[in-house]
Every structure is written in C-alpha cells, then in structure tokens.
Amino acid sequence: MFTWVLLTGAAFLAGGINAIAGGGTFFTFPALVFTGTPPLAANATSTVALWPGSVASAWGYRSVMREDPGALVPLIAVSLAGGLVGALAALATPGDTFAKLVPFLVAFGALLFTFGDRLRARLERFGQPSRWIVVLAQVPIALYGGYLGGGIGLLMLAALTLLGGRDLHRLNGLKSVLGLAINLTATAAFIVAGIVEWPRALVMAVAASAGGYLTARFALRLEVRLVKRMVIVIGWAMTAAFFVKTFG
C-alpha cells in the first residue's frame, strides 16, 4: 500500500511541477527506483507516465505551431530523432552500467535545473544567431532527453533563447512541443522494448495528469521561484541519495 501511495503522490507532484517549472522526473524516477523498479525500467516507466501530461501541455500551446513553421519543423524533426536515438542508447546500455550512470545523470539534470536560468540570462546578451545553430543545439538536448531527461526543460529554454524570443509564454510553448516530440519517440521505443511496468505507469499517468491540470488551474497563485528552489533542493537530495545507494 505504501508503494502505491508513494508512486501516486510522486506522480501528482511531478505533473504539477512540470506545469509551472519543470523537473517532474526528479519525483517519479527516484520514487520508482526506491520502490524496487530497476533503473532502466524506472526510466521507461517514468517517461511513459509523464507523457500524457506533455500532450496536454503541448495542446495548450498549440497556437505556437502556427508561428514561424520554418524554425519549428526542423526543431521537431531533430527532437523526434534525438529522442529515439537516446532511448535506444539507454536500451543498449547494460542494466548494471545504466544503474551506475544514474547518479551522474541525475546530477547533470540537477546542474541544468540549478543554473538553467543563469544560462538563459547569459545567452540573452548575444545577438540572434542563425536558426540552424539552435537546431544543432537541440541535438544533444534531444539525445539526453531520450536517454534520461531530468532538467531538459530549462536546457531547452536556454537554447531557445538563442532564437531571440523574450516572450516566456512562446518559449514555454516551444519547449512543450519539443519535449512532447522527444518523449514521443522515446516512449515508443520503451514500449516496443517491453520494459515498461504498465500497472505503475498507468496509475502514475492518471496522477500526473491530475496534478498538472489542478496546478495549471491555480498556477497564478504560486510563486514560481519558490517552486524552482524546492525542485533544486529535491534534485540535489536525490543526487546524493543515488550516489549513496549506488556507491555507498
């Protein structure tokens, strides 16, 4: 019973966090691992569980799809391909090796989340480059997103700032659409590989969707900076816990 309460609660919080700040993976992935799911299966199950939330988020920003398709189409193509390749790379990594990589991957995600806003601020000082530089920057983001993906939301926002946009709603829209593309192919690869723990994934998907919906309804009442700080603390706590669990 405790396992299902923990997984449902983690997914609900992840859906809410993703609706305003990103970083939901820091809730679902550790919860799955600490309740007995092997790291690779936890990665796949977490990705599948959070995917419905990404669909809802991307749909909410559907108007972005009509803006500057010349820039959006190649970014989506790169995201689809990178998400697939990253997921296949994760599947090709032996389970023991993947488990040992997890603490470093989570630490990388925590770093991205902690310093993502500063990176965005620095990038805003530069002039608007060719859109193809932004497309190339999306390649490693998509690969990492398909492989594990913790913290890619802020990394994408930092890269998309290179497009010269300062409208946060538009940037969040682009981030949501590209994140959906990355997770679409990654989810398909994990499903075909048969490593998703479906009972857990389905229950967590419902909880995450509910958390995202309810949080979106009351998002204006929440202090985004406070939420981000909370996610940063949790991200680093999970990093420390994974290092102790793996190497302690």
The total number of structural domains that make up the chain: 1
* Res 89 pLDDT > 80: yes
Mean pLDDT score of the chain: 82
Answering whether pTM is above 0.75, one says yes
Domain that holds residue 38: 2-247
Q: Which of 105-119, 155-169, 229-243 has the lowest mean pLDDT?
A: 155-169
Quote the pLDDT of residue 126: 63
Among 40-54, 116-130, 201-215, the minimum mean pLDDT is found in 116-130
**Res 137: pLDDT:** 83
Question: What is the distance between the alpha carbons of residues 183 and 164, in angstroms, rounded to a whole number?
Answer: 25
The pLDDT score that the predictor gives to residue 244 is: 86
Identity at 244, one-letter amino acid code? V
pLDDT over 90 at 8, yes or no: yes
Give the pLDDT band (50/70/90) at residue 146. Answer: very high
Residue 165 is predicted with a pLDDT of: 54
Q: CA-CA distance, 147 to 122, in Å (whole number)? A: 27
How high is the pLDDT of residue 239?
A: 84
pLDDT value at residue 195:
94
Where is pLDDT greater, at 130 or 153? 153
Q: Which of 37-51, 66-80, 166-180, 231-245 is the least confident region?
A: 166-180
pLDDT on residue 135: 86
Dihedral angle over CA of 41, 47, 51, 53, nearest 10? 110
| Residue 80 predicted with pLDDT over 80 | yes
CA dist., res. 87 & res. 144, Å (int): 9
Q: Tokens 């991307």 appear where?
A: 58
Query: Does pLDDT of 207 surpass 90?
Result: yes
Crossing angle of the two packed helices 39-60 and 2-20, in degrees rounded to 10: 40
Q: What is the torsional sign of CA 6, 144, 192, 96?
A: negative
- Of 162, 178, 152, 142, nearest to 235 by C-alpha is 152
For the chain, the straight-line distance linking the first and the last C-alpha, in angstroms and rounded, comes to 28
Helix axes 168-193, 152-160, angle to 10 degrees: 130
Mean per-residue pLDDT, 98-105? 84
Q: Band of the pLDDT at 169, cuts 50, 70, 90?
A: low
- Most confident listed range (120-124, 216-220, 226-230): 226-230
The answer to whether residue 91 scores a pLDDT higher than 90 is yes
- Give residue 162's pLDDT: 62
Which residues, including other chains, have CB under 8 Å from residue 125's CB and lie 6 or more apart? none
User: Do residues 2 and 209 touch, judged by C-beta distance below 8 A?
Assistant: no
